[in-house]
Structure 1
């Protein structure tokens, strides 16, 4: 099972580093491809190999690197040009005739009316047309985004968002997305041509507040900060194009869009494990809050 030589490209973000560490923990033969290896010491310590490789480098050069690996995971970057960058890497993988290519996508990839849909739909199409054996991991919003509310939860027992507290939506814990990817990459033959949606919980913001209250042993409340207020807060963490994309996801939630409400059992089917609920996530991280 662990004979696969696995390369994770885009290995320094939430999903990439989480997957590399999970694979290393499972004693897989995993290499992290990063732009600057000197900034990836944490991945080395976890037991992974680290090389300089990134999705937007010269296609022929990248193909040479990819040809050394049997399973490759493209973790689509948080870059405004991510469509073209990821397509470049898919074409390099085709040139290298990679045995299996797994790519991160989003739950709204079929929706051309939103930015993330317009970015990810061409990536999925390119992958499907590549002739390679492939898999797609569609992810919703991360429960781990609660880290952005760390200070108000610690100091004011409050967290904020742009929608009403009773609107339910799906989330994924980064550790669940990482485990699903790790299991697929180690044994890809069962996952050829599959599009999976990895979800961990389906709750409203008010439900989340209850879960956080239980885990932290203090009353946490959720406050609707409006779209404009949320935009100003998010601009501290990410560029404006990305903030606008995230706010479009919240608009989809507000409109009960299927892409934000579809709770899937794919995680359990792939891993045989129960997903990480909002409650169990906060129990794991309560010391920081």
Structure 2
């Protein structure tokens, strides 16, 4: 009697060299009976994965000639895009090729907001979500709120200097999520699509103003922290001076302005879905500050 071996699902992680993709990949490596593959843009970036025994494929969102080869044999895709307006075309072409390749399940890293959001770049991600659904994929949409890690570094720069926190939202209260928690949800949605297919997970578990965060850091770390609000115009000028892609960054600027003016509805909304998804409690700010005390200290 011949016994047919069960096919092991293959999961491709885009953004594997980044925070969310990299952490999701590490969580998936703890799962049994799946194969995890990291998508990289160049062979040079593949080295760190090869050293850990992790398979890689070359995938460039801007070069569709790389897509079909990267997708060969892939069953599930973790999809995240860059912070430019090009994400719209990149996502469409990538998904078209994913469909041609027979990929079944797509977990998409989107952005904040309810379905009726009027924040520009949040809405772009929702258009990508709709295209995923239109393409006939099984899907899980992830909509994280603001990342707690942004207080460690932002734009490849240390975010807090000598205890001073700067942000562009005046006294607004925001909803926050630990990237580690986001990555856990992404990994579970990829490992168990039968449990998470058709779901849109909004992920934000602790609402705080920057003044409240400064007070909490002062109490936990034992050194003074304070918040100094900056005008969104400073952000806009910095992006222009850096040569950033301004269609996207103009949306970010506008949403900072709206946060500061308090005109984004329910910007500090939190959700109670994390335990149901993971069986664990989400990270709150006190937990995060204690976990990263050495990085926040000065």
The alignment's TM-score, normalised by the length of structure 1, stands at 0.86
1:29 alignment partner in structure 2: 35
Of 50, 59, 77, 1:53 maps to 59
Q: Which residue of 2 aligns with 1:278?
A: 285
- CA-CA distance at 1:80 after TM superposition: 2.9
Q: Name whichever of 44-53 and 130-139 sits farther off.
A: 44-53
1:181 corresponds to 2:186: yes
The C-alpha deviation readout for 1:48-88, integer Å capped at 9, x for no partner, is 322211333326x5234324122111112223301110111
| Alignment partners' CA distance in 2, 1:49 and 1:12 | 13
- Normalized per residue, the structure richer in helix is 1
SS in 1 for 2:77: strand
Partner of 2:4: none
Residue 218 (structure 1) shift = 0.9
Q: Which residue, 76, 79, 83 being the options, matches 1:78?
A: 83
User: Is the 8 Å Cα contact of residues 208 and 268 (structure 2) preserved in structure 1?
Assistant: no
CA contact (8 A) 1:56 1:85 kept: yes
Equivalent pairs, count: 285
Cα distance change of structure 1 residues 143 and 90 upon mapping to structure 2, 3 Å threshold: same
| Cα distance change of structure 1 residues 71 and 246 upon mapping to structure 2, 3 Å threshold | same
Q: C-alpha distance in 1, partners of 2:281/2:147?
A: 17
1:248 is aligned to 2:260: no
Q: Secondary structure at the match of 1:261?
A: coil
Equivalent residue for 1:164, pick from 166, 170, 182: 170
Structure 2 segments unaligned to the other structure (5+ residues) = 1-6
1:283/1:43 CA distance change after superposition, 3 Å? farther
**In structure 2, how many angstroms separate the alpha carbons of the residues matched to 1:18 and 1:259?**
28
CA RMSD of aligned residues (A): 2.7
Q: Is 1:211 aligned to 2:216, yes or no?
A: yes
Q: Contact (CA 8 Å) 1:176, 1:200: kept in 2 or not?
A: no
1:128 maps to which residue? 133
1:200 positional shift? 3.3
Measure the CA separation in 1 of the matches of 2:112 and 2:277: 18
CA distance in 2, matches of 1:223, 1:245: 23
| Residue matched to 1:117 | 122
- Equivalent of residue 196 in structure 1, options 197, 201, 205: 201
Q: Say which one has the larger Rg.
A: 2
> How far off its partner does 1:234 sit?
6.2
Which residue pairs with 1:264 in the alignment? 271
User: 5+ residue gaps in structure 1?
Assistant: none
Higher mean Cα deviation, 92-101 or 21-30? 21-30
Counterpart of 1:5?
10
